[in-house]
Structure 1
Amino acid sequence: MEDQINSTLADDELIEIFRRLDSTYSRDSCSLVCKRWLYLEGLSRKTIQFGRSGMTDNTVRLFADRFVNQSVCVNEASNSTATRLGKRRRAVGSSTSTTRFGRGSNRNASNNKTGTSCFSDSGLEAVGGSFTKLEKLSLIWCSNVTDLGLKSFAEKCRTLKSLDLQGCYIGDEGLAAVGACCSGINDLNLRFCDGLTDKGLVLFALCSGRNLKSLGVAACAKITDVSLEKVGSHCRSLETLSLDSETIHDKGLLAVAEGCRMMKVLKLQCRNLTDEALQAVGSFCLSLELLALYSFQKFTDRSLYAIGKGCSRLKNLTLSDCYFLSNKGLHFVAAGCPELAQIEINGCHNIGTNGLNGLSELSLLYCQRIDNDALTEIGNGCKFLQALHLVDCSSIGDFAICCIARGCTNLRKLHIRRCYEVGNEGIIAIGQNCKLLSDLSIRFCDSIGDEALISIGEGCPSLQLLNVSGCNQIGDAGIMAIARGCPRLSHLDISVLQKLTDRALIDLGEGCPLLKDIVISHCREITNIGLSYLARRCKLLESCHLVYCPGITETGIATLITSCTRMKKVLVEKWKVSERTKRHAGSIINYLCVDL
């Protein structure tokens, strides 16, 4: 048969096709067609990521031969591990950086003798020597990388533009070497680099600060206002700043606000900042588009008044646990920032929703003072609202949701969690009025039942994501209505629905062929029959969680694995997986509890 594709399409056209494929599975399949496709598919990948695998120098070189990447990411820890490491590092914050790095170097030597799989200086040098066009490097919780390795890498990769050192044991010498060798860096992440001091960041700012556009610093106890003053003086192009620190005071942020007037994104969690710092931001950072304030005890409405007066381009505002801010301050921002479209209010007990017109997205999290009257105002004034998130707002009920449904007919995303006063009436109104709804999550809302989902199934044909986990009143009738009316459904969470039976899964198999991700854990009435039918009809399934389903046995798991060739993850009890299934698909099976 004549090869018309290779004779017709140029390299650039094939590369673009590979880039548009939506799954790694499809790309891998294409790379096996011929040598040309293998080579071009490698060129189409912009990022290569290594996990906790024994990555030797030779392995790095093999990857470099096939993938001419501009971005490399090495992630040495899961989120849970990172959290534990972060806590441990805060506990030993008084240790000197020299001692810690010495200990890291000894650890490297010891690990190399024992054949450890941890990424170290040797691997970093191999990356620098192999990926000659590297522009972006992420080293996440790579505790065996030291100043020596980072310096050697920087000398080889002088075209580097982005560097993420989150959780690495690097110190001032390493960061200074990066600044001296890689003058084009515009993105620098130093979160949890607790070995750094002012010296390292100051030297970096002096050498490469002119191109820096994004800087992140968190839990670096020895980085103080001295560093921020140099950032303000030498990093005039800075557009994004994220600070999580107990050692930063007004003096440092004042210097940044005055010197970095192109600032667009500012995220702060600094307990020692006061109104004076935010007033400076309002006076100098006139291009600010996103402002996030977390856990501030010293800010008052004076800060929001300054932001509203000066930052007319503000589009996104997050206020989390800011106890001394009130409706008055929020009104200043709403009145002075006509482009404000997204607001998240989390645990700010003195804030309501007065004056929030024109929003496209609103998040109200743990706001006990938000009641039905406040949501009624949103429904009346925010006709362009597209996304609403409500979490633990105990005073909000059906009346408020009905007002949202009638007034915000462009709503596309609705997430409600643990709002126990919301029941069928409110969700029925959503189904009747919000025809564009594509994402609905109503987790642990005990009063919502089948009637609500029947309305969604009849009125929201564009629904793609549905999460009804923990809604105990929902049974087969509601899920079957979704299956009949929402053919574009791709993600579904029906966990902890005790009334659900195989009938619902059979209808889902018939009506939702695009389903990719399903969670059916803790559904006691589901059996192998329903699961097998679903697996045979939903050929695009990639992820399935089904722990604590006593009606599903190893036969059902085997059928799921063999029927769904695109499957990437199955979460199940270990004893339900046969040896044959382990051999066939062990890499995609995850165990919640290995001892069951």
Structure 2
Amino acid sequence: MKRKKRTSLKSSSSQQFVEEETYLYLPDEFLSVTNSLLFSLTVYSSTLPFLKRLLKRFTKLTCLRLYHIIEVDNNLRLISSFPLKKLTSLFIENRTVPTNGLRAFSQNITTLTSLTCYSMFLSNTDLLLVANCFPLLKELNLKRPLVIDETNFINGIRNLLSKCQCIQHLNLDCIYFLKDQHVVELSFYMGNLVSISLNDCYLLAETTLFSLVRNCPSLSEIQMQSSAIGEESLGHSDSLVEFGVYPQLKSLYLGYTSWLSDEIIIMFASIFPNLKLLDLKGCHQIFDGICHVLRKCRELKHLNLLEVLNLSNTRVSDKTLYAISKSCCGILQLLLEDCDYVTNKGLKRVVLNCTQLREIYLGDFHVSDKNKKLILDRGCLLC
């Protein structure tokens, strides 16, 4: 390797300055290896002067992320002129839809299966453009869209889903006006859906959850954190026949859903018996119902499949924690921050049962000296 320093002088009518550039010359053999190792490229406005050089060098990119770059239409055209034959994922954070750039991109790069339009003004026309340009999308992320006409936007989502039948993963986080009836209607166009994220859609409740599992037979993951599930009584919740059983659902994220209760999660355990992951962090109305969940959802009991157990901000008691530790003896990490009903007695039991524990997060919990010694003697980190 050789290093070469070059000093160049540039002048203008008002100033002179000296610019030093250091060049690192590397063997072609080394460059050929590094070129093949970069699969993701993030582009900012400051990156644009080097964009051509980067695209020439890194030809095996699979993911491209564009953050508020200037003249996004022209730069998308530029990007699409390079032979990026392995590119499958495109992320754009920009206020307006780069209409012409997306058209040019879709004509020259036909391998795209994942598209993210983050915090972008979207209308029916814009969403139809996306559908026409990328009808074979498998993953679509429209998180935090900027919407002027809500009805127009919902129509656009429906039209897009009707055209893009291959979509398996859909993210509609932070659409604050989204209602149950909207999702019920859209669910009929999601036949191939595998996962959906509806976090921070505060108006959505049980109707959304049940319409998704009924109409999307392949759906295995639902994220509905900070929803309205449980805000209104189900009334007829004891009639499980009406809801049915949906064994295809494996992961359910319901964190920070303030109205969730033991009654509701017990019902969910019967409706979704094959759950492997149930996220209830920040659900302060959950007590000992978690024990029933563990008895009904057999997959949750096999802790060889579970490495992290997060019970922070819940009202689990020593009794509940003991039951969990007997069923979940293989966990590696346990989080018990702000669990006011857990005592040192319960903590000792879980440490004795969970012999593979490597980390325990307790927040402000006061740990007795005996428990500290027990935890440290077992090679577990106390945080």
**Fold equivalence (TM over 0.5):** yes
What is the aligned counterpart of 2:88 among 261, 264, 267? 264
1:150-169 aligned within 5 A: 151=24, 154-155=26-27, 158=30, 161-162=33-34
Any residues of structure 2 matched to 1:375-454 within 5 Å, and which? 375-382=183-190, 384-408=192-216, 410-422=218-230, 425=234, 433-454=245-266
Q: Determine if the alignment matches structure 1 residue 344 to structure 2 residue 168.
A: no
In the alignment, the residues of structure 2 paired with residue 217 and residue 411 of structure 1 have an alpha-carbon distance, to the nearest angstrom, of 31
- Letter of the 1:293 counterpart: C
User: Structure 1's 343 and 398: CA in aligned 2 closer, same or farther, altered over 3 A?
Assistant: closer
| Map of 1:44 onto structure 2 | none
Q: Which residue of 2 aligns with 1:455?
A: 267
Paired position in structure 2 for 1:479 = 290
Work out the CA distance in 1 between the residues paired with 2:202 and 2:352: 42
Helix, strand or coil: the match of 2:252? Answer: strand
Secondary structure, aligned partner of 2:107? helix
| Cα offset, 1:391, TM superposition | 1.8
Q: How does 1:6-405 map to 2 (within 5 A)?
A: 151=24, 154-155=26-27, 158=30, 161-162=33-34, 185-188=35-38, 214=39, 216-219=41-44, 221=46, 223-224=47-48, 227-228=50-51, 239-260=62-83, 262=85, 263-270=87-94, 274-297=98-121, 301-323=124-146, 326-345=153-172, 365-382=173-190, 384-405=192-213
Whether the aligned pair in 2 keeps the contact of 1:387 and 1:412 (CA below 8 Å) is: yes
Q: Deviation of residue 238 (structure 1)?
A: 5.3
Q: For residue 546 of structure 1, report the CA deviation from its aligned partner.
A: 1.2
**Aligned residue in 2 for 1:523:** 339
Q: How does 1:568-579 map to 2 (within 5 A)?
A: 569-571=381-383
Paired residue type of 2:321: L
Quick one: structure 1 residues 545 and 234, their matched pair in 2 at CA, closer, same or farther if it must change by over 3 Å? closer
How far has the Cα of 1:373 moved from its partner? 0.7
| Partners of 1:389 and 1:433 in 2: CA distance | 21
Q: CA RMSD in A?
A: 3.6
Other structure's SS at 2:198 match: strand
SS at match of 1:417: coil
Which structure would you say has the larger RCO, counting Cα contacts within 8 Å and 6 or more residues apart?
A: 2
- Conserved in 1, the CA contact under 8 Å of 2:313 and 2:339? yes
Q: Is the aligned partner of 1:560 residue 2:367?
A: no
Matched, 1:488 2:305: no
Question: What is the deviation of 1:521?
Answer: 0.9
Q: Offset of 1:475 from its aligned partner? A: 1.0
CA shift, 1:343, in A, is 1.9
> 1:420 and 1:270 mapped to 2: Cα distance?
30
> 1:248·1:272 contact (CA, 8 Å) conserved in 2?
no
Structure 1 residue 483, shift from structure 2 partner: 3.6
Contact 2:194–2:221, Cα closer than 8 Å, also in 1: yes
- The answer for unaligned runs of 5 or more in structure 1 is 1-95, 102-146, 163-184, 189-213, 346-364, 572-596
- 2: CA distance, partners of 1:559 / 1:503: 20
**Runs of 5+ consecutive residues of structure 2 not aligned to the other structure:** 1-16
SS in 2 for 1:266: strand
Deviations 1:149-172 (A, max 9, x none): xx26x349616534xxxxxxxxxx
Counterpart-to-counterpart distance in 2, 1:492 and 1:284: 46
Q: Give the residue type in structure 1 aligned to 2:265.
A: L
CA 1:336–1:468 in 2, change beyond 3 Å: closer, same or farther?
A: closer
Indicate if the aligned counterparts of 1:495 and 1:519 stay in contact, CA closer than 8 A. Answer: yes
Tell me if structure 2 keeps the 8 A contact 1:431–1:456: no
User: Within 2, Cα distance between the matches of 1:406 and 1:341?
Assistant: 16
Summarize deviations over 1:502-544 as a string: whole Å, max 9, x none: 1011111222223333221101121111111111112232332
Contact 2:330 2:356 in 1 (8 A): yes
Structure 2 CA distance for partners of 1:435 and 1:340, relative to 1, 3 Å: closer
Q: Which has the higher helix share?
A: 1
Q: CA deviation at 1:341?
A: 1.7
How far off is 1:570 after superposition? Answer: 3.1
TM-score by length of 2: 0.77
- 1:457 CA displacement: 4.4
What is the identity, as a one-letter code, of the residue corresponding to 2:292? A
The residue type equivalent to 1:243 in the other structure is L
Letter in 1 for 2:291: M
The answer on whether the counterparts of 2:119 and 2:145 sit within 8 Å (CA) in structure 1 is: yes
Report the equivalent of 2:6.
Answer: none
Instruction: Please name the residue that 1:58 is paired with.
Output: none
Shift of 1:376: 1.9
Cα distance in 1, alignment partners of residues 215 and 126 from structure 2: 32
Match of 1:537 in 2: 353
Please tell me the residue identity of whatever aligns with 2:322: I
In structure 2, do the counterparts of structure 1 residues 156 and 555 end up closer, same or farther at CA, with 3 Å as the change threshold? farther
Distance 1:261 1:524, change over 3 A: closer
Q: Which residue in the other structure is 1:512 paired with? A: 328
Rounded Cα–Cα distance in structure 2 between residues aligned with 1:532 and 1:315: 47
Find the aligned partners of 1:493 and 1:555 in 2 and give their Cα distance: 24
Return the alpha-carbon distance in structure 2 between the equivalents of residues 458 and 301 of structure 1. Answer: 39
Contact 1:409 1:435 in 2 (8 A): no
TM-score normalised according to structure 1 size: 0.52
Deviations for 1:34-63, whole angstroms, at most 9, x for unmatched residues? xxxxxxxxxxxxxxxxxxxxxxxxxxxxxx
**Corresponding letter in the other structure for 2:33:** K
Residues 379 and 276 (structure 1 numbering): CA distance in 2 closer, same or farther, change over 3 Å? closer
Residue type at the aligned position of 1:295: S
